[in-house]
Amino acid sequence: MNLEQLTSEVANLARQTGEFVRKVTSEFSKESIEYKGLNDLVSYVDKQTEEKLVAGLAAILPEAGFIAEEGTAEQAENHELAWIIDPVDGTTNYIHGVPVFAISIALIKESKIVLGVVYEINRDECFSAWLGGGAYLNGNAIKVSSAKTLGESLIATGFPYYDFELMENYINILKELMQKSHGLRRFGAAAVDLVYTACGRFDGFFEYNLKPWDVAAGTLIVQEAGGFVSDFRKGDDFVFGRELIAGCGMFPELQEVIIRNWNQGKAL
């Protein structure tokens, strides 16, 4: 399997599919919104985009299964070889006309992410990486920020839209980071937050209540750009574990703040 060539083909597919999303944006009506759960929105654009991605990826690598957000393809039963797809990461932004959303595609092989592509549609920016091959933005190599401390860092995060049980712990993290960093940003698309961390626009990112299609591609791109990623227990279950921390050289300091506040009052 030539991962470099495969990444190029997937990036081209993401761009082509992103053009479809751009074209239908002007016709989009909020009346077409559906709810999968509390504040969990989906539109026909998500579904049609996923169908196009599934068809294209099946042609590129027929032997791979799918782990796809909208369920337009039969879900892979294991992680031996499967595409992990988010057709529109940032659906709520899309629905409200906020121009921050992206297509996210990753390939998992034997439980390891080996390829990642995130195409930010509005800015026509295609981020990509393959295992051991480095990270790229529109074909140019990228690296994480050189920031070494929280005091010189801009941090991205996401706000939970369900499962508010640990909200107080999360607020405590925000309070401390507000005082120790250049500030916090919330864009509403985890894939974008991750690739912005990979190219140094953000110095770090953290969030919980995440799904694998939100982060699979972006985490590999961060790592291949020289960054670090963990879950909220300093482990590596950040793709399927629903929570992650990513960052550059200031990562250990960011990680310590998050883990300490997150676990406050919890039985360990």
Amino acid 78: pLDDT = 73
- Domain ranges in the chain are 3-141, 150-262
The strand pair at 40-42 and 34-37 is best described as antiparallel
Q: What is the CATH number of domain 150-262?
A: 3.40.190.80
Amino acid 38: pLDDT = 47
Amino acid 268: pLDDT = 47
Amino acid 39: pLDDT = 41
Q: What is the pLDDT of residues 104-115, one digit of tens each?
A: 999 999 999 999
In 3-state terms, what secondary structure has residue 200?
coil
Q: What is the pLDDT of residues 116-160, one digit of tens each?
A: 999 999 999 999 999 999 999 999 999 999 999 999 999 999 987
Q: Do domains 3-141 and 150-262 have the same CATH topology?
A: no
The domain defined by 3-141 carries CATH number 3.30.70.120: no
The proportion of the chain whose per-residue pLDDT surpasses 90, expressed as a percent, equals: 76
Nearest to 124 by CA among 141, 137, 108, 142: 137
Q: Which residue has the higher pLDDT, 165 or 251?
A: 251
Q: What is the pLDDT of residues 208-233, one digit of tens each?
A: 999 999 999 999 999 999 999 999 99
Residue ranges of alpha helices (H) inside the chain are: 3-25, 44-60, 91-96, 167-180, 190-198, 212-224, 251-262
Amino acid 76: pLDDT = 74
Tell me the average pLDDT of the chain.
91
Mean pLDDT of 245-257: 98
Q: 96 falls in which pLDDT band (50, 70, 90)?
A: confident
pTM for the model stands at 0.92
Q: What is the pLDDT of residues 32-86, one digit of tens each?
A: 566 554 444 456 788 889 999 999 999 999 999 999 877 666 677 677 899 999 9
Q: How many residues does the chain have?
A: 268
Q: Where are the beta strands (DSSP E) in 32-173?
A: 34-37, 40-42, 65-68, 81-89, 102-109, 112-120, 125-130, 135-137, 140-141, 154-157
